[in-house]
Structure 1
Amino acid sequence: MRAMVLTEPNVIEQRDIPEPTTDQGEALVRVTSSGICGTDLKILSGGIPAPKPIVMGHEMVGELLNDATDAKKGQRVLVDPVYHCGTCHACLHNQQHICTRGGLIGRDINGGFADLVAVPPANCYVVPDEIADHEVPLIQVLTTCMHGHRMANIFPGDVVVVLGLGVTGQLHVQLAKARGATVIGITRSQWKLDLAKSLGADYTYAPSDDIKDKILEVSKGDGADLVIESAGKVLTLGQAFDMVRTGGAIMPFGIYTETKAELPFYQFYFKEIQILNARASKGQDFVASMDLVKRGMVKLDPMISDREPLENLSGALDMLTSEAEGRMKIIMDH
């Protein structure tokens, strides 16, 4: 089968590789659309370790070629890329998403940048007909944001700040708005600020020396109830401590590859700040996320800036690193 293979850091080759087997009871999916995300870029560069050669890709939708746990042959399914053992301490405590013996499809085993992918049968979720195929890979990203929001006690009228308005930032804006929060989006790019505004942000600001004052004004002098750092930068994470109210919460949502960092730990103590660390997602997040998209409460298409054929994966990865104006989510058509 056709597959786009990462052979060494920053090198993608199109290869003909054997089709995956299903002799261990795996579900076999013919991939129709897949998405590129920041994790792929970090795997590509070596920032996130992965065995090589490896087929990347963990955001994928396709046709199920055999029966799965809750899906039938021929149905369109979204794949949960996190696999687990079922017997470790985390799995036994309903934390399968952080299984100590599991991993991520597309990082630890071959993923979706190929014609076919083999996945655990319980990881297939039937996609409603109302959702366009090219939008479905983005739902996997939405599930991770949903998992984070389940940790946060956000109520109507609360103030939520989203730092960084890439794909996850725009999704956090929409989820916070759906929960009735007053949402402040912050980023340097005007076009991203405009997009966040169109997706429901109440206030949008570029970073500035008086950004703390603006947040205090919106929050009537208290600070934000929740600050979501979705830029993945330790510097920005440090700034969140100034923005959050006493007794509030910070969600570090980016993937930080730094091994050392300076953060204002005294503020962390003195303001009694909660840190909400969310990784991956659970099955309930897939069901809820598809329902939100089906009902139009979260919009995905405005974030999709490009669609490319699978054969141009290497070029698409280069496109995403260029940070050209208007470029956000790239979907690979299979």
Structure 2
Amino acid sequence: MRALVMHGFGDATVEEVPDPDPGADEVVIDVACVQPSVTECMLIAGDPVAMHDVLAARLAAGPTRFGGHEFAGTLPDGSLVTAVETAACGVCAACRRDRPDACPSPGVLGFTRPGAFASRVAVPLRSVVPVPDGVTASQAAAVQPLAGALHGHAIAEVRPGDSVLILGAGVMGVLHAQVARHGGAGLIMVTGRSPAKRSLALAAGADVVIDAADDVHAAVLEATGGIGADVVFETAGGMPSAGLAGTSTLDLAARCVRRSGRIVMVAVLPREAPAPLGLLRERAVALLHPRSGAGGYSPGSGAFEQALRLIARGDVDVDCLITHRLEGVDALPKALDITRDKASHGALGPAQVMIGSWGRA
């Protein structure tokens, strides 16, 4: 089969590789649609974000396969599925105590094992999530960021009427705005640099949209009567080379949140990014990081199932973020280029690649 292979940072090509050899309790999925994440694009380019050192060590040992955790595909029986990217090991002390979220060495699709930047991918059976009727392969491939937004709102304990500030109107910002609107949040404020993304934020349910070039702190204080936001989701920060806002957004979040409020760090900042710890301590602000994976907030459903349910019901619109679709596994390098530099290509979200059977795409 054909798959993306990294030979070095900034050097990824599509090549012939062996078909996946599933182990016990694994299944092979024919990839129908895959989209790169911004984090994957940064790591492939060599940016010093989380997992950079691990990937560097792998590359030092030779070519490696990396990336491809946001996807949908078909099982041998033709059913459309996606898969949770993070799988606990199942054997450590935490897993034996039914605390997979505390597993010290979970497997991560596309990171610790080959992902869906390929024609086919092997995943653990326990990671497979059926896609409900009415949800396309394209929509299902975009479900992982939405599941991440659900995790962020869960850890922030957004309560009915809470004022929410979302820094950034990219994919995660728009998804957080939609989750906030359907989750009973009060005043929803979103910042954005481009007019197109600010328009998306309004359509997603934002009450107040602020140009990121303006005085965001002053605008937030005005909108909240001088109190500040109850919860701030920081989705804009990251490497400027990837079209992100650098590291100053964490300081902005610390100034815009109310005393004893909560900040959720959604963005992936450089490992040595400065943090306004003194200001956070002085104002008794909680700094939170959302978990990844299926989650366990309800015994009857995980974050992926709930995210797919929101899409199927029409409560969350992921199609508005999909502006570029390419065909065939050989288009993966182009999809990486578009996703890493969305502004130059006029893209609002990751470029999707349709591979093989489109299923219900």
TM-score range (shorter-chain normalised) is over 0.9
Maintained 8 Å contact 2:231/2:257 = yes
1:195 Cα deviation (Å)? 0.8
1:155 Cα deviation (Å)? 2.2
Paired residue type of 2:169: L
Aligned positions of 1:229-308 closer than 5 A? 229-233=234-238, 234-261=247-274, 263-283=275-295, 284-308=302-326
SS in 1 for 2:81: strand
Cα distance in 2 between the residues matched to 1:25 and 1:153: 35
Paired residue type of 2:152: G
Partner of 1:319: 338
Partner of 1:112: 116
1:290 Cα deviation (Å)? 0.9
- Closer, same or farther in 2 for the Cα pair 1:167/1:93, shift >3 Å? farther
More moved, 159-168 vs 148-157: 148-157
Maintained 8 Å contact 1:163/1:231 = yes
Partner of 2:38: 38
Cα distance in 2 between the residues matched to 1:230 and 1:191: 17
Q: Could you list the per-position Cα deviations for residues 192-243 of structure 1 after superposition, in whole angstroms to 9, with x for gaps in the alignment?
A: 1111111111111112553222212221221100000011342101110110
Paired residue type of 1:5: V
Q: Could you list the per-position Cα deviations for residues 257-276 of structure 1 after superposition, in whole angstroms to 9, with x for gaps in the alignment?
A: 23241x33232112111112
Partner of 1:75: 79
Aligned positions of 1:11-90 closer than 5 A? 11-47=11-47, 48=52, 49-50=54-55, 51=58, 52-65=63-76, 73-90=77-94
Q: How high is the TM-score relative to the length of structure 1? A: 0.92
SS in 1 for 2:324: strand
1:153 Cα deviation (Å)? 2.1
2:219 to 206, 214, 217: 214
1:89 Cα deviation (Å)? 4.0
Paired residue type of 1:275: L
Consecutive unaligned residues of structure 1, counting only runs of 5 or more, are 66-72
Q: Could you list the per-position Cα deviations for residues 130-189 of structure 1 after superposition, in whole angstroms to 9, with x for gaps in the alignment?
A: 112111111011111111111122223211011011111111111111112221110211
Partner of 2:106: 102
The alignment covers a number of residue pairs equal to 326
Partner of 1:68: none
- Closer, same or farther in 2 for the Cα pair 1:191/1:276, shift >3 Å? same
Q: Does 1:199 align with 2:210?
A: no
SS in 2 for 1:280: coil
- Closer, same or farther in 2 for the Cα pair 1:230/1:90, shift >3 Å? farther
SS in 1 for 2:230: strand
Maintained 8 Å contact 2:36/2:67 = no
SS in 2 for 1:170: helix
- Closer, same or farther in 2 for the Cα pair 1:209/1:331, shift >3 Å? closer
Partner of 1:70: none
Cα distance in 2 between the residues matched to 1:145 and 1:159: 16
SS in 2 for 1:150: helix
- Closer, same or farther in 2 for the Cα pair 1:209/1:30, shift >3 Å? closer
More moved, 250-259 vs 206-215: 206-215
Maintained 8 Å contact 2:338/2:347 = no
Cα distance in 1 between the residues matched to 2:18 and 2:336: 24
Cα distance in 2 between the residues matched to 1:199 and 1:33: 24
Paired residue type of 1:103: G
- Closer, same or farther in 2 for the Cα pair 1:192/1:209, shift >3 Å? closer
Maintained 8 Å contact 2:171/2:348 = no
Paired residue type of 2:191: I
Q: Could you list the per-position Cα deviations for residues 9-45 of structure 1 after superposition, in whole angstroms to 9, with x for gaps in the alignment?
A: 1122221111111232311111100111112112212
Aligned positions of 1:116-131 closer than 5 A? 116-131=120-135
Percent identity of equivalent pairs: 30
RMSD (Å), alpha carbons: 1.7
Cα distance in 1 between the residues matched to 2:79 and 2:258: 47
Cα distance in 2 between the residues matched to 1:293 and 1:268: 36
Cα distance in 2 between the residues matched to 1:92 and 1:45: 38
- Closer, same or farther in 2 for the Cα pair 1:174/1:37, shift >3 Å? same
Cα distance in 1 between the residues matched to 2:351 and 2:99: 30
Q: How high is the TM-score relative to the length of structure 2? A: 0.85
